[in-house]
A and B are shown apart, each in its own frame.
Chain A
Amino acid sequence: MAKGLIDLDRVGMTYQAASGPVEALAGISASIGAGEFVSLVGPSGCGKSTLLRIVAGLRPATTGTITVAGRAVTQPIPDIGMVFQAPILLKWRSILENVLLPAELAGKDPRSLRSRAEQLLEMAGLGGFGTKLPRELSGGMQQRAALCRALLLDPPLLLMDEPFGALDAMTRDDMALELLRIWGEKDVAREARKTVLFVTHSIPEAVFLSDRVIVMSARPGRIAADLRIDLPRPRTVELRATEAFGKLNLEIFRALTGKTSMGTAF
């Protein structure tokens, strides 16, 4: 396999919990190229969040090696945007101050990024909410604020853990299109785009956004399938109605469940 931006070589992770060891990941090998948009789907508890944390260098893997941009990951890696599964906004800061937090933590002048932060909030439909405290926002709004925070420093690598999980279907679709725009689908050459690792529970969302969908099996998480999504870009809403789109959905569903028919899954 060609050297990618992110290389995972037989990565395994076993948590030492109070109740005994929990094997979360086993034998994960994959290579993700620069500029690729890769989604990660799999049943709840299969280790998707764990994998994201390992790639970010927030947790060490128990076995295997992780390389990002040619360097072995042993500590938190620089220049990434991370959206955690929960919004984790600092409750004492206004939304705008929360979005500006990365600048402060990374030692940059937050004033110079203020207008960018405001633009991002505007983009996420949070225009008038910059001065509000997190507790004054709904769960979905908090999640969008967390997305803005991850995008503030314009990181080349985005690790996103169900960033749209708490959103209604319509807002979710809007945000997906915005994300593709920010990724540079329309105006940036393929290799110069951001690299995105995107966890979701929605198969159509994964297909719609991605170049590739990695399907994981139940715990301990292994790679059950790795599918290329060769749908034309830029992706449009109409694409969802095409046969090719439906076929890919079905294929991922089968890989995920081992069943041959979709039934009433969605």
Chain B
Amino acid sequence: MTKFGAMANRYWPTLVLFAFLLASWQAAVTFGNIREYLLPAPLSVWNALWHGDTAWWPHLWTTTFEIIGAFLMAAVVGVALGVAIAWSPVLANALVPFLVFVNTLPKVAIAPLFLIWMGYGIFPNMLMGALIGFFPVVINTAVGLSQVEPDMLDLGRVFNAPKWKIFVKIRIPNALPYILSALKITATAAVVGAIVGEFVASQRGLGYVIVTTQSSMNTSVAFAALVWISVVGLLLYGAVVLLAHLWAPWAEGVD
């Protein structure tokens, strides 16, 4: 079977269900006399997306930029902290309790503080996303680097390999599937963080658009913003899945 054929075969139930839900929703709103500001019909959302007054590009771009920034920050910082923890027991003892504490803080509660400290802007929203998303990366990196079969480490010792070489050739590849599966969680967290940040303090972005519709009762625009958010979120998630496929094909089917 062709690749496309296989895809079609796998995803047609999803597509059928999706189409059915959309159609039912449209029918319910049209024939059920539901008011537009409570639940806009799919067609109104469609109109808001393409023919409405909202200029989507600046918002879409701002939020996408924040999400990607948050994701990259969480990935880089998370991996770096994970490596530090796995490399040195002293660093692990110093860092882990502190990180656990940071992770238990409700991040939403910190968002207003960010506003005080950093004012309006893209960066605090990025930071919010990174803050929500970095912890699983730290943990999975540290676990993946440490949970190496003892026999594999003996193999390295038989050849008197230096510690850094065992790190590079054995520990890091061993950790890769763990890190990639944490990044799937981070991809979702980055979206949440960016939107939360925008809710609290922003003048642009999809989260900002949603907040403004509260006063204007322009619910179809809020739905349209949701559509954009999920498009960005899905693309990022898909990119991580693709990356896992390319970088850790041996671990395929693990999660």
Q: Is the pair B176, A92 in contact by a Cβ cutoff of 8 Å?
A: yes
Chain A residues within an 8 Å CB radius of B160: 76, 78, 105-106
Which one of A19-27, A81-89, A198-206 contacts B? A81-89
Q: Is the pair A105, B152 in contact by a Cβ cutoff of 8 Å?
A: no
Interface string of A145-177 (1 = CB under 8 A from B): 000000000000000000000000000000000
Task: State whether the Cβ of A240 lies closer than 8 Å to any Cβ in chain B.
Answer: no
Consensus secondary structure, chain B interface: helix
Interface string of A78-118 (1 = CB under 8 A from B): 10101010101011110000000110111100000000000
Known A105-B169, A133-B250: A88·B152 in contact at CB below 8 Å: yes
Residue of B nearest to A53 (CB): B154
A51 CB → nearest B CB, Å = 15
Q: In the bound complex, what is the Cα–Cα distance between A90 and B165 (angstroms)?
A: 14
Chain A residues within an 8 Å CB radius of B154: 53, 58, 84
Of B157, B159, B166, which is within 8 A of A102 by CB? Answer: B159
Q: Is the pair B151, A84 in contact by a Cβ cutoff of 8 Å?
A: yes
B40 CB → nearest A CB, Å = 49
Residue of A nearest to B249 (CB): A133
Chain B residues within an 8 Å CB radius of A76: 157-158, 160
Task: State whether the Cβ of B121 lies closer than 8 Å to any Cβ in chain A.
Answer: no
Known A106-B159, A135-B250: A90·B152 in contact at CB below 8 Å: yes
Those of B139-160 within 8 Å (CB) of chain A = 149, 151-152, 154-160
Q: In the bound complex, what is the Cα–Cα distance between A107 and B251 (angstroms)?
A: 28
Q: In the bound complex, what is the Cα–Cα distance between A53 and B166 (angstroms)?
A: 19
Q: Is the pair A88, B158 in contact by a Cβ cutoff of 8 Å?
A: no
Q: In the bound complex, what is the Cα–Cα distance between A133 and B250 (angstroms)?
A: 8
Q: In the bound complex, what is the Cα–Cα distance between A184 and B206 (angstroms)?
A: 74
Which of B152, B156, B159, B165 lies at the interface centre, i.e. has the most chain A CB atoms within 10 A of its CB?
A: B159
Q: In the bound complex, what is the Cα–Cα distance between A135 and B159 (angstroms)?
A: 24
Chain B residues within an 8 Å CB radius of A82: 155, 158
Q: Is the pair A56, B158 in contact by a Cβ cutoff of 8 Å?
A: yes
Q: In the bound complex, what is the Cα–Cα distance between A133 and B169 (angstroms)?
A: 16
Known A88-B149, A88-B152, A90-B152: A105·B159 in contact at CB below 8 Å: yes
Those of B163-197 within 8 Å (CB) of chain A = 165-166, 169-170, 173-174, 176
Task: State whether the Cβ of B235 lies closer than 8 Å to any Cβ in chain A.
Answer: no
Interface string of B88-129 (1 = CB under 8 A from A): 000000000000000000000000000000000000000000
Chain A residues within an 8 Å CB radius of B158: 56, 58, 76, 80, 82
Q: In the bound complex, what is the Cα–Cα distance between A101 and B154 (angstroms)?
A: 13
Chain A residues within an 8 Å CB radius of B151: 84, 86, 88
Chain A residues within an 8 Å CB radius of B27: none
B248 CB → nearest A CB, Å = 7
Q: In the bound complex, what is the Cα–Cα distance between A91 and B160 (angstroms)?
A: 21
Chain A residues within an 8 Å CB radius of B248: 92
B7 CB → nearest A CB, Å = 24
B153 CB → nearest A CB, Å = 10
13 A-B pairs with C-beta separation under 8 A? A58-B158, A76-B157, A76-B160, A82-B158, A84-B151, A84-B154, A88-B152, A90-B152, A92-B250, A105-B155, A105-B160, A106-B160, A135-B250
Q: Which residue numbers of A lie inside 8 Å of B, CB to CB? A: 53, 56, 58, 76, 78, 80, 82, 84, 86, 88, 90-93, 101-102, 104-107, 133, 135
